[in-house]
Structure 1
Amino acid sequence: MLQLRILSPAAITDEVIGILDADDAVSGLAVVRGSSLKPPGDLVFADVAREAANDVIDRLRALGVHREGTVEIDTVRTWLSRSGFEAEVRTPGSSADAVVWADVAQRSYEETELNWTYLSFMTLATVIAAIAIVLDSQILVIGAMVLGPEFGAIAALGVALVRRRFVLLGLAVRTLILGFAAAIAITFVLSLIGRGLGWITVDDVIGPRPSTAFIYTPDKWSFIVAVIAAAAGVLALTSSKVGGLSGVFISVTTVPAAGNIAIGAAFGLGEAIWGSVWQLVVNLIGMALAGWATLALQQAVWSRVSVRRARALHRPYRML
Structure 2
Amino acid sequence: MMHLRLIVPPDRSERVLDGLVADPGVSCVTRVPGAAHRPAGDLIECDVTREATSDVLVRLKAEGLYDDGSVALTSVDSAPSRNAQAAEKAAPGAPDDAVIWDVVVDQAYNEAGGSWVYYVFLTLATMIASVAVVTDSSILVVGAMVVGPEFGVVAALAVGLFLRKGGLTKRSLMLLVKGFVLAIVLTAIAALLARAVGWVDASDVTAARPLTGFIWRPDRWSAVVAVLAGSAGVLSQTAGRGNALVGVFISVTTVPAAGDLALSVALWAPHQIGGSAAQLGINLAGMTAAGVVTLLLQRVIWRSYLRVKQVRGVAGPLRGRSESGQS
What TM bracket, shorter-length normalisation? over 0.9
Q: Could you tell me whether the CA contact under 8 Å between 2:92 and 2:315 is conserved in 1?
A: no
TM norm structure 1: 0.95
2:137 corresponds to 1:137: yes
- Matched residue of 1:41: which SS? strand
CA shift for structure 1 position 272? 1.1
Match of 2:299 in 1: 299
| Deviation of 1:270 (Å) | 1.6
Structure 1 CA distance for aligned equivalents of residues 6 and 301 of structure 2: 28
Partner of 2:325: none
Q: C-alpha separation between the residues in 1 aligned to 2:164 and 2:175?
A: 18
Distance 1:34 1:80 in 2: 30
Per-residue CA deviation, residues 165-194 of structure 1 (Å, 9 max, x unaligned), is: 221111110110000000000001001011
Match for 2:259: what amino acid? G
In the alignment, the residues of structure 1 paired with residue 25 and residue 158 of structure 2 have an alpha-carbon distance, to the nearest angstrom, of: 29
CA 1:161–1:306: 2 relative to 1, 3 Å: farther
CA distance in 2, matches of 1:150, 1:47: 33
Q: 2:171 maps to what in 1?
A: 171
Quote the residue 1:272 is aligned against: 272
Partner residue of 1:287? Answer: 287
For residues 86-143 of structure 1, give each alpha carbon's deviation from its aligned partner in whole angstroms, at most 9, with x where no partner exists: 1111211101222111111121112222211000000000000000000000000100
Report the CA distance between 1:18 and its aligned residue.
2.4
Gaps of 5+ in 2: 318-327
For 2:190 and 2:117, the matched residues in 1 are separated by 20
Count of aligned pairs between the two proteins: 315
Q: Is the 8 A contact 2:112 2:175 kept in 1?
A: yes
Q: How much is the aligned-residue C-alpha RMSD, in angstroms? A: 1.4
Task: Report the more deviating stretch, 272-281 or 13-22.
Answer: 13-22
Residue type at the aligned position of 1:181: V
* Percent of residue pairs bearing the same amino acid type: 43
Change (3 A) 1:142 1:314: closer
Decide which moves more: 105-114 or 142-151: 105-114
Q: Secondary structure at the match of 1:47?
A: strand
Look up the match of 1:62: 62
Match of 1:38 in 2: 38
Q: Match for residue 316 of structure 2?
A: 314
Cα separation, 1, equivalents of 2:173 and 2:15? 40
Q: Secondary structure at the match of 1:194?
A: helix
- Which position in structure 2 is the counterpart of 1:217? 217
The CA distance in 1 between the partners of 2:199 and 2:21, in whole Å, is 69
Letter of the structure 1 residue corresponding to residue 35 of structure 2: S
3-state SS in 1 of match to 2:42? strand
8 Å Cα contact 1:129-1:259 kept in structure 2:
yes
Deviates more, 1:256-265 or 1:106-115: 106-115
Shift of 1:79: 1.8
SS in 2 for 1:251: coil
Q: Secondary structure at the match of 2:233?
A: helix
* 1:264 maps to amino acid: S
The alpha carbon displacement at 1:303 in A equals: 2.6
Partner of 1:91: 91
> What TM-score results when the alignment is normalised by the length of structure 2?
0.93
Q: Distance in 1 between matches of 2:304 and 2:14?
A: 30
C-alpha displacement at 1:19, in angstroms?
2.0
SS at 2:241 equivalent? coil
Structure 1 position 308, deviation (Å): 5.7
